[in-house]
Amino acid sequence: MKKNQTSLKMAWSLGMKQCFSIFFAYLAVFGLLILSGLGCVTLEQTPSTGHAWPATESEFESKSYITPECSSVVECLQSIIGTLPHEPTKEGFDAIRDWVAYNVEYEPDEDRFGQKDCWETPEEILNDPRVGDCEEFSVLLCTLLRAYGIDAEQVYVVIGVDGNEGAHAFLMENWYQGGEWRAIEAQAPAKLRHGFTVFPLFDSGLDKYEIIVAFNDLYYYDGSFPWDEDQANSGTLSEIATGVNNIVRCLSQSLDYLFRLLFNENQQDVSCINNDTSILRAFPAFSAMLLD
């Protein structure tokens, strides 16, 4: 009788420790999931890349492609935003990005002009038909954002190379997230037509490009860039995120084990607990905790 009572007490004590272990593991997983972030929604159609080499590599002529004071640009901006606000807003930023993505049709320079890398100014792009490739999308978006009031220190057209697909034009900006630099794909909208926010899958895919040129109407860089320090920091953050994801995966495996241990193994005859140590041997990471 005493032996059975002792076995029952041990079973109850072991079960309570398992419950507490599961509870704290849940808390840990929940916290780590918040830190590591949730998944992204993917879109099947990706923006097109091209050669995107500037028609000229001179600083003066590169700057001449960004024309925020052009009358055609101002008229276009007013048609998108209406009365311009005293300060730019994220809603206005997204509306401009959406307009460019939905109202300019992609067409390679080879198809239009019979040659590669024929850059156009915003005024030329806005003339019907509104077509262009990656550099036209980028030049127009940057120009409209500059006309909207985004500072020249905060938005640039950039040319990136990856060694496989040639060069690609996109934007770098740090206004939207309050000083945090990010690459944005000028061909991709901020929202789908029904209002669903596009997660930054297209934007994050730009990380593979090595930026070699950046410019707007006031600045031109072909060496060090304003965001170099931030990119170094983002590499460290990426390593941290990888470590966190590994921890989450390990905790998920631990939770799976604890559930099996609690709901399956405890249904065995309690009189066998003193003799059955195979469960603890099978998962030594928790043996010390459960027997403490």
How many other CB atoms are found less than 10 A from the CB of residue 176? 19
In one letter, which amino acid is 66?
Answer: I
131-132/105-106 β-pairing: parallel
CA-wise closest residue to 186 among 125, 71, 99, 89:
99
State the pLDDT at residue 290: 36
Q: Which residue has the higher pLDDT, 277 or 115?
A: 115
State the pLDDT at residue 210: 94
Q: Which range is least confidently modeled, 32-36, 68-72, 100-104, 191-195?
A: 32-36
Per-residue exposure over 43-73, b if at least 16 CB sit within 10 Å of its own CB, e if not: eeeebebbbbbbeeeeeeebeebbbbebebb
- CATH fold for domain 59-226: C8orf32 fold (3.10.620)
Question: Is there a contact between 286 and 257 (Cβ–Cβ < 8 Å)?
Answer: yes
Is pLDDT above 60 for 242? no
Domain residue ranges of the chain, discontinuous segments joined by +: 2-37+239-291, 59-226
Is pLDDT above 90 for 135? yes
pTM over 0.85: no
> pLDDT, tens digit, for every residue of 39-88?
222 333 445 555 555 544 567 778 899 999 999 999 999 999 998 888 99
> pLDDT, tens digit, for every residue of 173-203?
999 999 999 999 999 998 776 655 655 667 8
> 3-class secondary structure for 121-165?
CHHHHHCCCCEECHHHHHHHHHHHHHHHCCCHHHEEEEEEECCCC
